[in-house]
Amino acid sequence: DTAVSQTPKYLVTQMGNDKSIKCEQNLGHDTMYWYKQDSKKFLKIMFSYNNKELIINETVPNRFSPKSPDKAHLNLHINSLELGDSAVYFCASSQFGLAGGRLGNEQFFGPGTRLTVL
């Protein structure tokens, strides 16, 4: 069983289009994240949801909108795609817990979605 799954794995599209990436986790975690990894491998947090509520919204264009229908799913919708949106997008999940405790430990990552905007 795949713990964190993303679809699609590859996405090639034209500038100006609207696209969505889906993420599902079957770990029972209550927190999910979206990261963007650029060509230099730099990993940037975009969004974090805890129990379907947005708790982190880093500085990303408002063309990006996360949607969490339930705590096992966190989808990313992107409007008016631009060339600079080309990257690999990773979904991740974790269970909330206080630092220093056994809970709230590692994030589990999905396989990534390679987005190419032409």
Partner 1 sequence: AQSVSQHNHHVILSEAASLELGCNYSYGGTVNLFWYVQYPGQHLQLLLKYFSGDPLVKGIKGFEAEFIKSKFSFNLRKPSVQWSDTAEYFCAVKGTGNQFYFGTGTSLTVIP
What is residue 84's three-state secondary structure? helix
Segment interacting with partner 1 (CB under 8 A) among 15-23, 50-58, 67-75, 78-86: 50-58
66 binds partner 1 (CB under 8 A): no
CB 29 within 8 A of CB 94: yes
Closest CA to 25 of 71, 66, 69, 65: 71
Cα–Cα dist 68/71, whole Å? 7
Q: How far is the CB of 117 from partner 1 (least distance, A)?
A: 20
Smallest gap from Cβ 109 to partner 1, in A, equals: 4
Binding site for partner 1 (CB under 8 A): 31, 33, 41-43, 45, 48, 50, 55-56, 90, 92, 94, 96, 98-102, 104-112
